[in-house]
Amino acid sequence: MKTIIIFLVLTFSALNASHGQNYYHYGDIDSKLNKRAILEIAKQEIRKLVLERKIPKSWKSVSPTKIEKNHHTNSNNWVAIFKNTHIKKVKKQTLHIFIDPYGEIKGANYSGQWTK
């Protein structure tokens, strides 16, 4: 667990650094993340959305039902799909978190439709 936390801290500090300045990248600048890292990033986004009160608290205990590449765009973004049966409205039971290959959150919605 400690290794994952260190990895995520280093990854996010590299992603948040300003462009045009000298800074250290963790690994190769072109390295892409695997499913395990995408899972952690998606879970972090769920916690953030709960803290911001954009989604109900019941989402905190939900694990993703599927993590897959979103091949509907040319960018090969990942999509983590969460299903929460505690939500009464069926249309809002499935939440999609879109993540680019480098770990940046691109969006989240209930429809599963990717929009730029």
Give pLDDT tens digits for 18-30.
343 333 333 344 4
Confidence of residue 66 (pLDDT cuts 50, 70, 90): very high
Mean pLDDT of the chain: 79
pLDDT of 33: 83
pLDDT of 2: 59
pLDDT of 46: 96
In whole angstroms, what is the distance from residue 45 CA to residue 105 CA?
8
Q: Hunting for tokens 């993540």 — which residue is that?
A: 99
Residue 7: partners with Cβ closer than 8 Å, 6 or more residues away: 26, 37
CB 82, CB 103: distance < 8 Å: no
* pLDDT surpassing 80 at residue 53: yes
- Tokens (6 digits) for 89: 């409205």
Burial (CB < 10 A; 0-12, 13-18, 19+), residue 12, is middle
pLDDT of 96: 95
Burial (CB < 10 A; 0-12, 13-18, 19+), residue 46, is buried
